[in-house]
Amino acid sequence: PLFTIGKPIAQRHFLLIGGAVFVLLALLWWLAGASGAVPKIFLPAPGDVWARMLKLAADGTLWSDLKVSVYRIAVAFLVSSAMSIVIGVFAGCYGFWKAATEPLVDFVRYMPVVAFVPLTILWAGTSDFQKFLIIWIGTFFQQVLMVMDAIKRVPADFVGLGRTLGMPDRRILLRIVLPSALPGIWDALRISLGWAWTWLVLAELVAATSGLGYRITVSQRFFQTDTIIGYILLLGFLGLITDQAMRAGEKVLFRYNRRRN
């Protein structure tokens, strides 16, 4: 089953193989440093990185940076998600709102988010609002399209059944369309949350006086490679935690969808 197309893999095998890959990479990392093949200033050993992170945690620097970054991503992502769900649902249901929304969203989403950084600095300086803007620009327009797509995937037979039963549009939307589309919308939010972490770090690398990205920039100036690598690994860990939390939330909130499938 491990090498058969289309065959699902057992959960224990999945975890074992995935864990083995991480262990192998950590071993190669350790060997590269221990053998002297890579200078320590470029690639410190895993133990050095761990010791550095413990020191930053002990003096409060790590927790301060983490608190600021989590606050920024939470506010921006919640605002972006709320706006995109409302607009995406209406655009997915009604032709007028689709015509008013989709061309503009398609146009803006191809603009590089990086290009907006200088403009947002002019608008908001290096304040938290500037970080909110970058995260919003990087997630909102993609979210709208994915929410629209989730709405469009609701079977037409479901809507037709509602009309046959004499349900008005409002009840069809609330009782049929939304319950059917919500699992897809949730999955879209989960995917876009990963993008939000990327845009947060971008904003903090370029224009910030605090946060995880800011600490990476400062560490680069002083050749503190252990801090840079530690924070990069921390960002990956945070992204993994939030992704798994969203997956767990999906299983709890949308049990009806699993039963239907």
Say how many C-beta atoms besides its own lie within 10 A of residue 72's C-beta. Answer: 26
Amino acid at 87: I
- Range with the poorest average pLDDT among 1-15, 67-81, 180-194: 1-15
Cβ 225 vs Cβ 156: under 8 Å: no
DSSP 67-81: HHHHHHHHHHHHHHH
Candidate from 1-15, 23-37, 41-55, 114-128 with smallest mean pLDDT:
1-15
Residues 139 and 29 in one domain: no
Q: What is the pLDDT of residues 163-211, one digit of tens each?
A: 888 899 899 999 999 999 999 999 999 999 999 999 999 999 887 888 9
Q: Which helix (H) or strand (E) holds 32?
A: helix 11-34
pLDDT of residue 149: 95
Q: What is the pLDDT of residue 90?
A: 94
Q: Note whether 121 and 130 are within 8 A (CB).
A: yes
pLDDT of 38 > 90? The answer is no
d(CA 206, CA 200): 10
CATH of the domain at 114: 1.10.3720.10
Would you say 202 and 211 are in contact if contact means Cβ atoms under 8 Å apart?
no
Residue 223 burial (CB count, 10 A): 11
User: Is residue 7 located within the same domain as residue 126?
Assistant: no
Which pLDDT value is given to residue 253? 87
**pLDDT digits over 99-142, tens only?**
999 999 999 989 999 999 999 999 998 899 999 999 999 999 99
- Block residue for tokens 């990392």: 29
pLDDT score for 1: 59
For residue 35, the 8-state DSSP code is T
Question: Domain of 23?
Answer: 1-38
Same domain, 150 and 243: yes
Q: What digits encode the pLDDT tens for the residues 226-254?
A: 999 999 999 999 999 999 999 999 988 88
Mean pLDDT across 72-76:
96
Three-class secondary structure of residue 218 per DSSP: helix
Mean pLDDT value of segment 50-64: 96
Same domain, 34 and 59: no
| Tokens representing residue 111 in the block | 């603009």
Decide which of 259 and 83 is more confident. 83
Question: What distances in angstroms separate CA 72 from CA 193, 196, 199, one per listed residue?
Answer: 13, 10, 11
pLDDT at residue 89 in the model: 96
Entry pTM: 0.87
62 and 23 in a common domain: no
Confidence band of 6 (pLDDT split at 50, 70, 90): confident
DSSP designation for 167: -
Q: How many Cα atoms occupy the beta-carbon half-sphere of 258 within 13 Å?
A: 7
Question: In the chain, how many domains are there?
Answer: 2
How open is the CA angle 219-115-133, to the nearest 5 degrees? 80
User: Are 127 and 77 found together in one domain?
Assistant: yes
Is a pLDDT exceeding 80 seen at residue 256?
Answer: no
Question: Same domain, yes or no, for 28 and 102?
Answer: no
Q: What angle do CA 232, 118, 65 make, to 5 degrees?
A: 30
> Are residues 127 and 210 both part of a single domain?
yes
pLDDT of residue 260: 56
Q: How many Cα atoms sit within 13 Å of 42 on the Cβ side? A: 7
Give yes or no: residues 5 and 120 share one domain.
Answer: no
Does residue 201 share a domain with residue 160?
A: yes
Claim to verify: residue 1 and residue 109 sit in the same structural domain: no
What is the rounded (10 degree) CA torsion for 195, 237, 257, 173?
Answer: -30
